[in-house]
C-alpha cells in the first residue's frame, strides 16, 4: 500500500464493536491472507485470519461482557513465547493489517481481554501464545449507543500530544508529523503509555506505564510515527532509536 493510503486509513480508523452478518468480500479475504503471510515471514509471528467463527469467542455476555455484538471474523495475534520482541511485533504488524483492512472499507477493533481465550487455544501450536485478537468485518455506518458511550469514556482519558513528547529543543517538521500520527494510534483504555523523546537530532520511544499491553501499544505507536515522519525506521525494543534511511523513496512500504 502507498504511504498516503496508510495515512488516510489512520484518520478513518475507529474501533467498532457491533458488526453485521455481511461476509467479507472474497477479494479482501485474499488480500488479508497475503498480507498476513508476508508479515508472518517478516516478523516470525504466526498471525491467523479466522473467518466465520467469531461467535465462539464473543457470543454471550460472559465472554465479551456485552461489549461486542455480531463478531463473525477475527485475526488471532499469535507468536512463540521465545520470539524476541513478540509483543511489540504484535502491535506493529497487527496495526498494519488494521490500516489495510480500513482501506478496504472494513471495520476493526483491537481486543485484549473481552473474549473467550479458551475458544482460541487450538489455534496455538507448541510454545505459542495468543496475545490478543482483532475483530474484523462490516459495521453499520451509524455507531450504536453502546459504542458511543464507550468512545465518550475513553476519550475522557486522552493525554495531550504535548504529554507524549520530551524535547528540550526545537523539533523538526518530520518529528511533528510523526507525533501527529502517533496521536491517532489506538491504545488499551486510551492510556497512551509511552513517550517519544527528541534530543540532539535523535528520537527514542519508551513505555511509561507498566501495563500488560504496553509493548503492544508501543509497537502500534512506533508504526504510526514511522508512517507519519516518512524519513526512517525503528529498532525493536523499549527505548529504541529511530534511524534515518531511504526506504520511503518510492512511496510504498
Closest CA to 193 of 176, 175, 215, 178: 215
pTM of the model: 0.91
**CATH number attached to the domain at 156-244:** 3.40.109.30
Specify the domain boundaries for CATH 3.40.109.30 within the chain. Answer: 156-244
Q: Each residue's pLDDT tens digit in the chain (253 positions)?
A: 999 999 999 999 999 988 999 999 999 999 999 999 999 999 999 999 999 988 788 875 455 445 788 999 999 999 999 999 999 999 999 999 999 999 999 999 999 887 888 888 889 999 999 999 999 999 987 766 565 555 544 554 567 888 899 998 899 999 999 999 999 999 988 889 999 999 999 999 999 988 899 999 999 999 999 999 999 999 999 999 999 876 655 556 6
- Judge whether 12 and 130 are in contact, CB under 8 Å: no
- Burial class of residue 162 in the structure, from the number of CB atoms within 10 Å of its CB (0-12 exposed, 13-18 middle, 19+ buried): exposed
Specify the domain boundaries for CATH 3.40.109.10 within the chain. Answer: 3-140
Give me the half-sphere count of Cα atoms (radius 13 Å) on the Cβ side of residue 55.
4
Q: What is the dihedral of CA 247, 80, 64, 113, to 10 degrees?
A: -80
- Measure the CA–CA gap between 112 and 100, rounded to whole angstroms: 20
Closest CA to 34 of 1, 56, 79: 1
**CATH number attached to the domain at 3-140:** 3.40.109.10
What is the chain's alpha carbon radius of gyration, rounded to the nearest angstrom?
18
List, in sequence order, every residue forming a beta bridge with 74; answer none if it has no partner: 50, 135
Amino acid at each position: 500500500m502507498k504511504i498516503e493510503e496508510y495515512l488516510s486509513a489512520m484518520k478513518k480508523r475507529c474501533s467498532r464493536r457491533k458488526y453485521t452478518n455481511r461476509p467479507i468480500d472474497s477479494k479482501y479475504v485474499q488480500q488479508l491472507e497475503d498480507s498476513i503471510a508476508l508479515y508472518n515471514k517478516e516478523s516470525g509471528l504466526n498471525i491467523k485470519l479466522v473467518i466465520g467463527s467469531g461467535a465462539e469467542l464473543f457470543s454471550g455476555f460472559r465472554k465479551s461482557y456485552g461489549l461486542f455484538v455480531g463478531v463473525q471474523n477475527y485475526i488471532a495475534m499469535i507468536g512463540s513465547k521465545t520470539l524476541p520482541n513478540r509483543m511489540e511485533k504484535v502491535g506493529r504488524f497487527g496495526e498494519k493489517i488494521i490500516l489495510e483492512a480500513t482501506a478496504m472499507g472494513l471495520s476493526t477493533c483491537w481486543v485484549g481481554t473481552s473474549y473467550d481465550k479458551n475458544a482460541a487455544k487450538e489455534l496455538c501450536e507448541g510454545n505459542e501464545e495468543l496475545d490478543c485478537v482483532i475483530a474484523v468485518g462490516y459495521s453499520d455506518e451509524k455507531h450504536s449507543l453502546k459504542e458511543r458511550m464507550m468512545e465518550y469514556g475513553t476519550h475522557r482519558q486522552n493525554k495531550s500530544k504535548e504529554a507524549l513528547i520530551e524535547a528540550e529543543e526545537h523539533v523538526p517538521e518530520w518529528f511533528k508529523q510523526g507525533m501527529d500520527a502517533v496521536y491517532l494510534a489506538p491504545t488499551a483504555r486510551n492510556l497512551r503509555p509511552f513517550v517519544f523523546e527528541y534530543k540532539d537530532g535523535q528520537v527514542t520511544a519508551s513505555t511509561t506505564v507498566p501495563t500488560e499491553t504496553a509493548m503492544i501499544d508501543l509497537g502500534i505507536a512506533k508504526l504510526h510515527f514511522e508512517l507519519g515522519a516518512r524519513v526512517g525506521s525503528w529498532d525493536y525494543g523499549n527505548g529504541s532509536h529511530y534511524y534515518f534511511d531511504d526506504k520511503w523513496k518510492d512511496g510504498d512500504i
